[in-house]
Structure 1
Amino acid sequence: MLLDGIGKRYRIGGPWVLRDVRLELRPGRVVRIHGHNGSGKSTLLRVVAGIAEPSKGRVSGRPSTGYVPERFPPALPFTAAQYLRHHARMRGISASQGTQLLERFGAEQFAGTAMKELSKGTSQKIAVTQALLGDPELLVFDEAWTGLDVAAREELAAVVRERARGGACVVFVDHDAARLADATDERWVVRDGALHTADEKTPATASRMVITIAGAAGSSLAAHLPEAEISARHEGGHRIVVDERRSDESLRRLLALGPEVHIVAVSQAPPQIRATEES
């Protein structure tokens, strides 16, 4: 698959989110996309997945594709099993693969549960499962590990390795710099809308992560996240700044607090936060 001279903006006369991007995605390769929050990573992945059309340039040779968006809409009018059967029918495959994948990710007991009643972590397992249905030749994961429990995160990493060995191309964004470090073949950085090769000797991701949540008292958060810097947001909720190496563990602890905590967003800390902390 080839992206050639891709540019993307969301309205005529608006700013260019992507500029003159050229990227060849080859079978069997695991490709990581880096970039600061708002750099255009998610837009690039939507173009790769065919969800967004480029404003200029050409995409050719797109194979069968599975896509996990950064924000999966959980409040759909289906049970988990109905949703997966719907996707299986669209792809012309047996629904049994969805059942097998649910079992693999430890979510088979939620097959009959309405999507709107699922936790964020279980919804994410459904999102990953639908992307894997039919063994697509291209997998596009935008923060697909966020919200998954430890076992499911490890299982997804194992699936990526398996699919790549089988000839699939995997393109992913993730906040954990160590994710699939041993299996990644290419690293690219989106900066100012353009795509650059990543130098492995220079960290391509932020050293700090920002987790934005709604709900939960600050004192409760401090007790569960002693390593984090927690501040209240003007519109309610809290902003949590944590070392990226601890971000998965912090997310797991937040999810364990139950339904009173809603994770609004996970992003890399902007430069001004990092500069303040490093000074």
Structure 2
Amino acid sequence: MTTALNLEAVNRSFGERQVLKDVSFAVESGRLTGFVGANGAGKTTTMRIILGVLAAESGSVHWRGAPLTRADRQRFGYMPEERGLYPKMTVGEQIVYLGRLHGMSAADAKRRTTTLLERLELAERAGETVEKLSLGNQQRAQIAAALVHDPELLVLDEPFSGLDPIAVEKVLAVLRERARSGAAVLFSSHQLELVERLCDNLVIIADGTIRAAGSRTALREQYTLPRYRIEVDGDAGWLRDEPGVTLTELDGAHAVFDLAPRADDQAVLRSALARGPVRAFGPVRPSLAEIFREVIR
């Protein structure tokens, strides 16, 4: 994949408090990148620097290999955590208006607005003012506003907050479609299970410092312990006597165990097969929540 957005050693302070410390990571075209961290970790500040709302004190932000410009940002879509739609304006008029601000013709903005509101199941609400919508529907309208001009980069701050499971799936489908078209997507979320299911790449930030970044697969491999799960016929208690094996969980035929650095997982498997059928055997992969806890402590 091609790197679309690249941050190198970005720093930012507010008064005497440094909130970003040499922040560096990349966002690739055609991929969904999850940006996770606790409240106050620096996610929103980083996003605002990308969008030009804030300036970095040092470091650089590049778009497709060149310094980021105002013209580049015209091709970005942004959804802030603090929702910014006009409450007295109708949904349809507002999305069209924002499309026009990004240089779309009136006809293209109306066509794109109609398509998006249908995809997000807001078409019946197009004539209502934003203030009359439920919080979940306001969220969908905000996502439509970020997408209306077919942006090359989407920056979304907590886009799934307040959405029910059905609405989440609708939004996910739209984001995946945008990524498949070649756009780069960066979004923050506190819902780690959702990020794990959706994202291709992950960036984890804590105390203004990037603690881990890379593909979901690479991070899982990097933080996988020498831990295995096995299910056999009969009792798996014999594992206690296997060289290099430390049992961490035993429930009859099911067991989870750690291996010493030089121990051979295949030797354990052969020992199990010598005792009878093996129904399941393989490494235990950490969840995003487990990786997150590991890298921020």
Q: TM-score w.r.t. structure 2 length? A: 0.62
Which residue pairs with 1:48 in the alignment?
50
Which residue pairs with 1:83 in the alignment?
94
Is 1:163 paired with 2:178? yes
Q: 1:17 aligns with which of 16, 19, 22?
A: 19
Which residue pairs with 1:200 in the alignment?
220
Output aligned runs, 1:21-40, within 5 Å.
Answer: 21-40=23-42
- Cα offset, 1:183, TM superposition: 4.5
Which residue pairs with 1:5 in the alignment?
9
Provide structure 2 residue ranges, at least 5 long, that are not aligned to the other structure: 214-218, 225-292
Q: 2:83 aligns with which of 63, 66, 72?
A: 72
- Structure of larger gyration radius: 2
Q: What is the alpha-carbon root mean square deviation over aligned residues?
A: 2.2
The percentage of aligned residue pairs carrying the same residue is 33
Which residue pairs with 1:153 in the alignment?
168
Preserved contact between residue 74 and residue 116 of structure 1 (Cα < 8 Å): no
Provide structure 1 residue ranges, at least 5 long, that are not aligned to the other structure: 204-270, 272-279
Preserved contact between residue 37 and residue 190 of structure 2 (Cα < 8 Å): no
Preserved contact between residue 157 and residue 180 of structure 1 (Cα < 8 Å): no
- Cα offset, 1:129, TM superposition: 0.1
Q: 1:189 aligns with which of 200, 204, 219?
A: 204
- Cα offset, 1:157, TM superposition: 1.0
Deviates more, 1:146-155 or 1:34-43: 146-155
- Cα offset, 1:24, TM superposition: 2.2
More helix by share: 2
Q: In the TM superposition, what whole-angstrom CA distance separates every residue of 1:223-267 from its partner, at most 9, and x where no partner exists?
A: xxxxxxxxxxxxxxxxxxxxxxxxxxxxxxxxxxxxxxxxxxxxx
- Cα offset, 1:74, TM superposition: 4.7
Q: Distance in 2 between matches of 1:50 and 1:156?
A: 25
- Cα offset, 1:162, TM superposition: 1.6
Structure 1 stretches of 4+ with a deviation exceeding 6 A read: none
More strand by share: 2
Output aligned runs, 1:1-279, within 5 Å.
Answer: 1-10=5-14, 13-61=15-63, 62=68, 63=72, 64-74=75-85, 76-93=87-104, 94=108, 95-197=110-212, 199-200=219-220
Q: Distance in 1 between matches of 2:20 and 2:160?
A: 25
Q: Distance in 2 between matches of 1:105 and 1:120?
A: 14
